[in-house]
Chains A and B, each alone.
Chain A
Amino acid sequence: MPDTSSPFRRARLILWGILFAMGVGVLAYQLWLINRPVPAVPTAQEALRASITPEFTLLNAQGGTVTADSFKGKWMMIFFGYTHCPDVCPTTLNTVAETLAELGEAAAQVQPLFISVDPQRDTAQQLADYTAAFDPRILGLTGSEDQIKAASRAFKVYFRKVPEKDGGPDDYSVDHTAFLYLVNPEGDMDAVFSFHDEVDKVVAEMKRRLGQTP
């Protein structure tokens, strides 16, 4: 009868033990490979947010000069548009108005701003009349051509006049980027919402930041 005494058996056990441990190790490694987090690729909106320096020097409804610093301490929600806009601007300003309504008391921490890309037609009074139709808390800002251009550059806003066919010098529409910019109370860019983001999404994002349960 062959000798199956202790040393061989122990060696076999150890060998099986090592093989088993190796098997477990390989399995664990495979699982880790599959489940490790994917490195975040910046979205276009995130890349846009990172490229913006939230600065401006503009005029308010009373003709007084205001800058981004004037609103520090509040979340600035900024939209660039113009008052002769029949579709895009009313739609977005309505989103802002509805967001404010949904936030209730927390809306006091938000300063919505509507910056005109049409200083030729949009005087401070024009802007005040316009924004009041959506929500009295929305502040309209205008300025000289240079001030508007500077603000647009800072926010990477593109705009261009498009003359109406058979129209006069005051008959034109304005193509423009329609993002909603969020600047935090410290004056830093926080988020960029797209024109296609619905009210629910904007409200949820704001509630998160204002410490409310969405």
Chain B
Amino acid sequence: MTHLLRRLAALVALLVLAGPAGAMDMAESKLGDLTVQKPWARASIGTDRPSAAFMVITNGGGTDDRLTAVTTEIAGKAELHKTSMDNGVMKMREVEGGIIVPAGATVELKPKDLHIMLMGLKAPLVEGEMVTLTLTFEKAGTLTLKAMIMKAGATSHSH
């Protein structure tokens, strides 16, 4: 009888813990007309090196908006960058004025393209853990979400 009760208690505990954990696997967050999907970051290699975060932002509204800043506790500095190729040379530059998310459009932050650069890491980004990011949009305001940390060489949100 106690054995069964213990099993039941374990099951209940599992469900209680799994519940919020499931909700926290925020594959999608909304702020006004904006939807942010699949936020993810790359594991850092040591804390001296920068890491990068990526996501998909959709503006379902009728007005253009702009991602102007990102802050996170794990990094001293977070900037918006874009990788581009200029005559075979790879360059990475800060996006001045922020990343525009036009009305009705979807903007993808992904490897070899737009990304959030996380610098001055205070702690390593460990694969399998989550990192909290606060995004500031010019019109919509701020949105805090959790991004899944993938391996250092990951090229997408899914395995």
Contacts and interface: CB of A to CB of B under 8 A. Distances in A.
A197 to B, nearest CB: 12
A211 B118 CA distance: 43
A175 B83 CA distance: 10
Nearest to A164: B119
B90 A88 contact: yes
Interface string B127-155: 00000000000000000000000011111
B18 interface: no
B92 A93 contact: no
Contacts of A142: none
A86 B43 contact: no
Given A129-B45, A130-B45, A90 B89 contact: no
Contacts of B30: none
A83 interface: yes
B45 A83 contact: yes
B42 A90 contact: yes
Contacts of B42: 86, 90
A162 to B, nearest CB: 8
Interface string B47-72: 01111100000000000000000000
Interface in B69-118: 81, 83, 85, 88-94, 111-112, 115, 117-118
A97 interface: yes
Contact of B50 (A86, A162, A179, A196): A86
A195 interface: yes
Contact of B115 (A84, A86, A129, A164): A86
Contacts of B46: 126, 129-130
A133 B45 contact: yes
Interface in A17-71: 44
A184 interface: no
Contact of B94 (A87, A88, A165): A165
Contact of A87 (B48, B111, B151): B111
A176 B50 contact: no
A65 to B, nearest CB: 26
B156 to A, nearest CB: 11
A86 B52 contact: yes
Q: Which of A91, A97, A162 has its CB near the most chain B CB atoms (within 10 A)?
A: A91
A147 interface: no
Interface of B: 42-43, 45-46, 48-52, 81, 83, 85, 88-94, 111-112, 115, 117-119, 151-155
